[in-house]
């Protein structure tokens, strides 16, 4: 926000150091939190250390030397426009703004940039975020929702931070689990088709539960039952074999059911406001991955033990020269010629790098697949992909239920759609009296925004590494650290602006902001938080941590609520002060909106 001053001062420091033959280290600036004034600072410790290394310091200790340099620089700078004063303290150069100037500039900057406030400068790298990749025919449950929300928020963050961003999905659409459902459908339900996208998706899950139970060995099975179960098992295996050789009947049926499932997935993504750019399927990379196996053998990365009746393996640790066991040895082709999950991930990565020119590749996948992904990244490195260094696994903890782990096979899952419906119902029952004047349809739309806001934030406010025991009452709560609490700050800001009779929050309609008065503590805190937004965007994107933005949004909302209770904006007597405060409200509203958007949470105008 203050690049101009920063650049100007940096130039002066560089010129000074050059002229005086001082080995200036890279200048790192940081904001000075408000303590009477705002400012920014840099230190000269590294520069002093450089000097000492070159034996130029006449043995002056580094801290003392840093202070000397800071003082010399300060002497050199004189007065700078927009800066109230400059200090050289303990090796630091502290540069302060006039408070009213700073406040005005922060607010003006927000209002003139609007929805783009905080957007980072365009970066040269392309980032692909892969998420929302459940296995097909399993219906979307609350664990998938955590994955999708984390992935979408990460994508929004890196995109807003300035990276070219590609959103990718990679549903698992093959394997015995998938075939089990095709078999059950063909055997017991052929020709049936429930109406409704969600109904159809959920029905497939029901079939899976049923089939699993039929195929499962029971205690005290009668001989008849055993025979029956074994016959079913043989049919399932036969179907798998047929799928594998491309039998048209099985493939067609598989495609139809897969499409039912994907239709539901696409509908859920629409509900979550997720727009995928690329769809990869495991089945698409199966064949290409076989070619890769040959390439890895030819390049000496993989060992072909098939002649000895073995498989094709990669001794990752050995090839990397590691003496301690880390990535272990992995099979990449079974002796029967079939590929593994790992093999397909190698093929997928190649497509991402070569066809999509991805520089950074992020995988949002639950932590149980951590070793698998580290193994894949290690093989990519052996293979020679420079991007292997920039593959990143954003792992997340398990979502379980109070009664234990979710299990699709047992039908013990909490479906996302059910939670979303329940969320709307609950909000409507609370809001019905409060907002009787709002037309029913609109009320429903707002209830959806609030209910989903609660659910989404509950998935983001927990560190991604932590497990979540899903409790619907907690997830849909409105109080405390929740989505609706943040949405409510937005609504309040909005209502102040509406009541002030200022059309919308357009900056031109608010007149100039002149913060030439004694700012209250609440205003100072609010301005400080608002000014931090661009930095938080960069931090969250660089560290791949949605939680940084989730926490920031809460802090901002909390600070706004305190301000709202302490400072009566509309009753402010002095016209210019009132105007400045209204502009601060408008700026806060804008930044809350921007933060909510990054968190994939909508900002309702009323609630
Ligand atoms: N479909 C997988 C699952 O449900 C997740 C895919 C993760 N991505 C990957 N590139 N392996 O477990």
The CATH number for 90's domain is 3.30.1360.70
Q: Does the residue 464 lie in any domain?
A: yes
Which of 369, 371, 408 has most ligand 1 atoms within 8 Å of its beta carbon, as the pocket-test mutant?
A: 369
| 443 and 320 belong to one structural domain | no
Q: Does the residue 138 lie in any domain?
A: no
Which of 365, 373, 391, 395 has most ligand 1 atoms within 8 Å of its beta carbon, as the pocket-test mutant?
A: 365
| 563 and 456 belong to one structural domain | yes
The CA 432 to ligand 1 mean position distance, Å, reads 42
The CA 247 to ligand 1 mean position distance, Å, reads 26
Q: Which residues pair with 396 in a beta bridge?
A: 366
| 516 and 429 belong to one structural domain | yes
Query: What are the DSSP calls for 483-506, one per residue?
Result: HHHHHHHHHHHHHHHHHTT-STT-
172 lines ligand 1 (CB under 6 A): yes
| 421 and 539 belong to one structural domain | yes
151 lines ligand 1 (CB under 6 A): no
* Cross-sheet strand order for the sheet of 303-304: 303-304, 312-315, 329-333
Return averaged pLDDT per consecutive 10 residues of the chain, 607 residues in all: 84 94 92 90 94 81 94 91 91 94 94 97 98 94 97 98 98 95 97 96 95 94 96 97 95 97 98 98 96 97 96 97 95 94 98 98 97 98 97 96 91 95 92 77 93 97 96 91 97 94 54 86 96 97 98 98 96 92 97 98 94
Q: Does the residue 47 lie in any domain?
A: yes
| 433 and 582 belong to one structural domain | yes
Q: Does the residue 403 lie in any domain?
A: no
**Structural domains counted in the chain:** 3
Kindly state the helix (H) or strand (E) to which residue 315 belongs, with its residue range: strand 312-315
* Ramachandran angles phi, psi of 330, nearest 5°: -125, 140
Domain holding 61, by residue range, is: 3-97
Q: What is the pLDDT of residues 353-395, one digit of tens each?
A: 999 999 999 999 999 999 999 999 999 999 999 999 999 999 9
431 lines ligand 1 (CB under 6 A): no
Q: What is the CATH number of the domain that holds 484?
A: 1.10.730.10
170 lines ligand 1 (CB under 6 A): yes
Q: Does the residue 52 lie in any domain?
A: yes
- Give the residue, by CA position, lying nearest to ligand 1 atom 9: 345
Residue 374 burial by Cβ neighbours in a 10 Å radius (0-12, 13-18, 19+):
middle
Which of 131, 132, 140, 172 has most ligand 1 atoms within 8 Å of its beta carbon, as the pocket-test mutant?
A: 172
Domain end, chosen from 47, 62, 97, is at 97
- The alpha carbons of the chain give a radius of gyration, in whole angstroms, of 30
The CA 439 to ligand 1 mean position distance, Å, reads 43
| 435 and 292 belong to one structural domain | no
Q: Does the residue 67 lie in any domain?
A: yes
- Give the residue, by CA position, lying nearest to ligand 1 atom 7: 365
CB 161 within 8 A of CB 184: no
What is the token pair recorded at 139? 């219906």
| 491 and 572 belong to one structural domain | yes
The CA 131 to ligand 1 mean position distance, Å, reads 8
| 337 and 431 belong to one structural domain | no
Domain end, chosen from 53, 82, 97, is at 97
Domain end, chosen from 62, 97, 132, is at 97
Helix, strand, or coil here: 245? coil
* Ramachandran angles phi, psi of 141, nearest 5°: -110, 180
- Give the residue, by CA position, lying nearest to ligand 1 atom 10: 345
CB 349 within 8 A of CB 385: yes
Q: What is the pLDDT of residues 251-265, one digit of tens each?
A: 999 999 999 999 999
Structure confidence at residue 57 (pLDDT): 61
State how far the Cα of 600 lies from the Cα of 150, in Å rounded to an integer. Answer: 9
Kindly state the helix (H) or strand (E) to which residue 585 belongs, with its residue range: helix 575-598
Our measurement of the distance from residue 357's CA atom to the centroid of its chain's CA atoms, rounded to an integer in Å, reads 21
283 lines ligand 1 (CB under 6 A): no
Q: Does the residue 78 lie in any domain?
A: yes
Structure confidence at residue 502 (pLDDT): 57
| 341 and 483 belong to one structural domain | no
- Cβ neighbour number for residue 383 with a 10 Å cutoff: 18
Structure confidence at residue 511 (pLDDT): 67
The CA 363 to ligand 1 mean position distance, Å, reads 9
Q: Does the residue 207 lie in any domain?
A: no
Nearest-atom number in ligand 1 for the CA of 366 is: 12
């Amino acid at each position: 926000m203050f690049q101009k001053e920063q650049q100007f001062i940096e130039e002066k420091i560089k010129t000074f150091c050059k002229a005086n033959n001082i080995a200036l280290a890279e200048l790192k600036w940081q904001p000075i939190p408000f303590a009477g004034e705002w400012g920014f600072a840099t230190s000269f410790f590294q520069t002093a250390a450089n000097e000492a290394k070159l034996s130029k310091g006449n043995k002056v200790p580094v801290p003392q030397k840093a202070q000397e340099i800071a003082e010399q620089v300060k002497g050199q700078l004189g007065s700078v426009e927009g800066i109230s004063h400059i200090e050289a303290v303990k090796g630091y150069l502290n540069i302060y703004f006039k408070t009213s100037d700073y406040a005005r500039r922060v607010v003006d900057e927000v209002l003139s940039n609007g929805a783009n406030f905080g957007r980072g400068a365009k970066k040269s790298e392309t980032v692909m975020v892969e998420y929302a990749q459940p296995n097909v025919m399993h219906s979307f449950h609350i664990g998938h929702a955590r994955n999708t929300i984390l992935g979408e928020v990460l994508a929004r963050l890196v995109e807003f931070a300035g990276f070219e961003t590609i959103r990718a999905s990679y549903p698992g659409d093959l394997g015995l689990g998938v075939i089990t459902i095709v078999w059950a459908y063909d055997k017991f339900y052929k020709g049936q088709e429930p109406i409704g996208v969600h109904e159809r998706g959920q029905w497939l899950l029901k079939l899976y539960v049923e089939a699993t139970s039929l195929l499962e060995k029971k205690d005290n099975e009668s001989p008849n039952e055993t025979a029956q179960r074994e016959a079913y098992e043989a049919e399932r295996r036969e179907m798998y074999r047929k799928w594998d050789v491309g039998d048209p009947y099985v493939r067609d049926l598989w495609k139809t059911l897969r499409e039912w499932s994907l239709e539901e997935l696409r509908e859920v993504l629409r509900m979550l406001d997720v727009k995928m750019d690329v769809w990869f399927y495991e089945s698409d990379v199966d064949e290409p991955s076989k070619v890769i196996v040959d390439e890895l053998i030819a390049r000496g990365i993989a060992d072909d033990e098939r002649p000895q009746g073995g498989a094709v393996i990669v001794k990752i640790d050995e090839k990397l020269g590691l003496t301690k066991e880390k990535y272990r040895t992995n099979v990449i082709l079974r002796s029967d010629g079939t590929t593994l999950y790992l093999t397909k991930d190698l093929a997928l990565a190649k497509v991402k790098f070569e066809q999509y020119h991805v520089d950074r590749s992020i995988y949002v996948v639950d932590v149980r697949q951590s070793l698998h992904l580290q193994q894949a990244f290690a093989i990519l490195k052996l293979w020679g992909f420079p991007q292997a260094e920039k593959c990143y696994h954003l792992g997340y903890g398990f979502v379980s239920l109070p009664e234990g782990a979710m299990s699709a096979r047992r039908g013990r899952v909490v479906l996302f759609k059910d939670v979303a419906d329940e969320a709307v119902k609950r909000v409507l029952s609370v809001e019905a009296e409060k907002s009787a004047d709002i037309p029913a349809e609109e009320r429903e739309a707002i209830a959806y925004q609030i209910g989903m806001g609660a659910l989404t934030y509950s998935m983001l406010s927990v560190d991604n590494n932590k497990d979540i025991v899903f409790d619907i009452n907690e997830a849909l709560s409105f109080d405390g650290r929740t989505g609706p609490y943040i949405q409510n700050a937005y609504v309040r800001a909005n209502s102040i602006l509406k009541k002030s009779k200022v059309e919308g929050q357009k900056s031109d309609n608010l007149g100039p902001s002149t913060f030439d008065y004694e700012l209250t503590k609440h205003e100072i805190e609010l301005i400080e938080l608002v000014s931090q937004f661009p930095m938080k965007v960069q931090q969250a994107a660089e560290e791949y941590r949605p939680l940084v933005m989730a926490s920031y949004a809460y802090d901002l909302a909390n600070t706004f609520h305190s301000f709202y209770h302490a400072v009566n904006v509309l009753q402010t007597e002095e016209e210019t002060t009132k105007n400045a405060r209204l502009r601060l409200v408008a700026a806060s509203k804008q930044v809350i909106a921007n933060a909510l958007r990054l968190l994939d949470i909508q900002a309702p105008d009323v609630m």
